[in-house]
Structure 1
Amino acid sequence: MDGGGRFPEPPIAAGYAGGDAGTPAPHPGTAPAWGGPARESRLARYLPRFLRPRRSSVAVPIERRMPRHLGMGLAFGFFGLVAGAGFVSGGGYAEMAARSGTPLDMAARALGFGLDKVTISGLVQLRSAEILQAAGIDQRNSLPFLSVVDVRDRLSTVPLIGAVSVRKIYPRELLITLTEREPSALWQRNGEIAVIAADGTVIDQMRDGRFSDLPLVVGDEANLRTKEYLALLEAAGPLKDRIRAGTLVSGRRWTLKLDGIDVRLPETGAREAVARLVKLEAESSLLEKDIIAVDLRLPDRVVVRLTEEGAAARLEAQKKQQKKPKGTET
């Protein structure tokens, strides 16, 4: 207040006792607000975020809160989604994938990660083209998006493959290392011929002439006695190449097929019987005669069956022998 009793500034209403300036006093009988707004704002800084008082939002028009060109973007996105769905449902995507691969594969090839080289090691009977076809690998693949697990699983289903490993060599090479099962013989049953291993396991079906030189066993369970048949072939010595097949009869004994001649072997002592056959052939050329079967099941004799021409010739010779007068010098 100056000397004339005037205030230099407009008076400001003082707050009630204990309150900030300008804070109206509470009505009589009402407890004053503790600390007032200013004190509440100071205390709010020390409270957890979820306990702090929230400011009332300022009303802003919705068009000012939305991003610019949102409607145009949504429209383009909608039409793009419709076009993509039509492309897929109409078969366009499947045709493109069948011709050029998936979009990921195309992108990887464009970046220099195409599958340009496949190295296959361990091939003996199989061919590279068969491996690639079984693995599902062609020029549409790319190295980054080719699953080595899927390739290995596909190749493991090939009966002639015993073990296989697949490894990527960046940027553009795939290495396949495999071990083939060793075919031991052919097994014919019910008119079908299969390639089998030494233990009788079926490796694959006979599809071409690659395995035509393998020994052939015929009959039920003949595959399980392949080792026994191979031992008979070794005992045949010089006759081995003339034996075309071995038929297991009733699961008990073998009958060998030699150039149209059946050689019946005993149930026991089959190798000894084959040795007898080798000796007979060396001494008398038994297998060169007009016979269709040789029975070696009896240990003390050999029974042969003549062909029709041989039987007729033998019968004619016997008749001539009987017609000769007695005492005639021959």
Structure 2
Amino acid sequence: MDGGGRFPEPLIAAGPAGAQAGGVAPLPGAPLPGARAGAGFLSRRLPRFLRPRRASVAIPLERRVPRLVGTALVFGFFGVVGAAGFVASGAYAELVVRHGRPLDILARAAGFGLDKVTIAGIVQLRPAEILHAAGLDQRNSLPFLDVVGVRDRLAAVPLIGSVSVRKIYPHELLVTLAEREPSALWQRNGEIEVISADGTVIDRMRDGRFAALPLVVGDEANTRTKEYLALLDAAGPLKGRIRAGTLVSGRRWTLKLDGIDVRLPEAGAREAMTRLVRLDAEQRLLDKDIIAVDLRMPDRVVVRLTEEGAAARQEAQKKKPKGKGIDT
């Protein structure tokens, strides 16, 4: 201080070395004057990954999350829990059984239900059998109907040879099929099956629709169906009396005619059948009291009489000489 009690210099804290007179001293940790400009200049010269990062401004959570998200999450959680309980309780399965899948229900409500199924090409099959085999009913809807699955299920039916399925919007399905032609019935091990002309098994005998078809009996008889059908054609007027043909030991046929067995030879069966037709026309052979006719020998016919017929035959033989051509 001077003599008057005054300081010779202003009462201002001195800055660091090199600071201008009268300047304000920086606070501890604060950037020096000109430091910000220098830092910006340096950051522009450094690579991007070495530049100092700017401090991010904190945004409140309620401003970063969209509105009503929390409410939606709560309702979604309870919805998932409710749906899981609905499925686990069996109520969903019961709903599907009664009304179909939810997508089908919505499609039907929109006017795309399966209201009409047109079936073309059926002969032996019934429409109800087609619908059952295809798995079609009022619960289906046209947009969500799997036509490939319907076609595969119908193709698995033995009586169906080929099938096509096509959607016709808004509510019709067209099913076009071709049936295999049944030619005969094949009996083996107590079961009867429907077969084609080449012996392929088409289906089991389920009802009386195929009762009028020719019947073959025995192992491998189905593979010789064409041969048996040729014998029926050779039977002429006797064809209606033939009930079945049994393949014996895989070699020859025995025909069943109204309780009479007709034994045909292994070779020349068609000629033997023609001979039987002639004998019946000339002598009414099959109207006599016989139970079997053996045509296996080409030069004679052997018949087996019933007990009553044998007794009558013996009485007749006592009164006249034996006939020629037929042995008993």
TM-score, with length taken from structure 2: 0.83
Structure 1 residues 99 and 294, CA gap change in structure 2 (3 angstroms): same
Kept after mapping to 1: 8 A contact 2:187/2:193? yes
What runs of 5+ residues in structure 1 fail to find an aligned partner?
A: 1-10, 14-20, 26-32, 323-330
How far does the alpha carbon of each residue in 1:227-272 deviate from its partner, in whole angstroms, 9 at most, with x for none?
A: 0000001111111111111000000000011111000000000000
Q: Match of 2:111, SS?
A: coil
- Give the letter for the 1:176 counterpart: V
Whole-Å separation in 1 of the counterparts to 2:50 and 2:195? 80
Distance 2:183 2:231 in 1: 15
Q: Which residue of 1 aligns with 2:156?
A: 157
Q: Distance in 2 between matches of 1:314 and 1:284?
A: 15
**Is the partner of 1:182 in helix, strand or coil?**
coil
How far 1:183 moved relative to its partner? Answer: 0.5
| 1:181-200 to 2 correspondences below 5 Å | 181-200=180-199
Q: Percent identity?
A: 75
Map 1:246-261; keep pairs closer than 5 Å.
Answer: 246-261=245-260
Q: Distance in 2 between matches of 1:51 and 1:146?
A: 62
2:212 match: secondary structure: coil
Pick closer, same or farther for the CA change 1:69–1:125 going to 2, 3 Å: same
Match of 2:79 in 1: 80
1:156–1:42 CA distance, 2 compared to 1 (3 A): farther
Partner of 1:313: 312
Structure-to-structure mapping, 1:239-318, within 5 angstroms: 239-318=238-317
Gapped regions of structure 2 (runs ≥ 5): 1-21, 25-31, 321-328
Equivalent positions of 1:155-234 (< 5 A) are 155-234=154-233
Residue 239 of structure 1 aligns to which amino acid in structure 2? L
Q: Given the superposition, is the C-alpha separation of residues 220 and 54 from structure 1 closer, same or farther in structure 2, using an over 3 Å criterion?
A: farther
Tell me which residue corresponds to 2:40.
Answer: 37
Tell me how far apart the structure 2 counterparts of residues 283 and 317 of structure 1 sit (CA, whole Å): 20
Structure 2 CA distance for aligned equivalents of residues 313 and 195 of structure 1: 43
Quote the Cα distance in structure 2 between the aligned partners of 1:125 and 1:66: 68
1:236 paired to 2:239: no
- Report SS of the residue matched to 1:292: strand
Partner of 2:17 in structure 1?
Answer: none
User: What is the aligned partner in structure 1 of residue 34 from structure 2?
Assistant: 23
> Secondary structure at 2:35's aligned position in 1?
coil
Shift of 1:61: 3.6
1:176-235, CA deviations, whole angstroms, 9 ceiling, x for partnerless residues? 110100001000001100000111000000001111111110000000000000000111
In structure 2, relative to structure 1, the CA distance for the partners of 1:286 and 1:61 (3 Å cut) is same
Please provide the CA RMSD for this pair.
2.5
Q: Which amino acid aligns with 2:40?
A: P
Are the aligned partners of 1:12 and 1:22 in contact in 2 as well (CA < 8 Å)?
A: no
Which residue number in structure 1 is paired with residue 112 of structure 2? Answer: 113
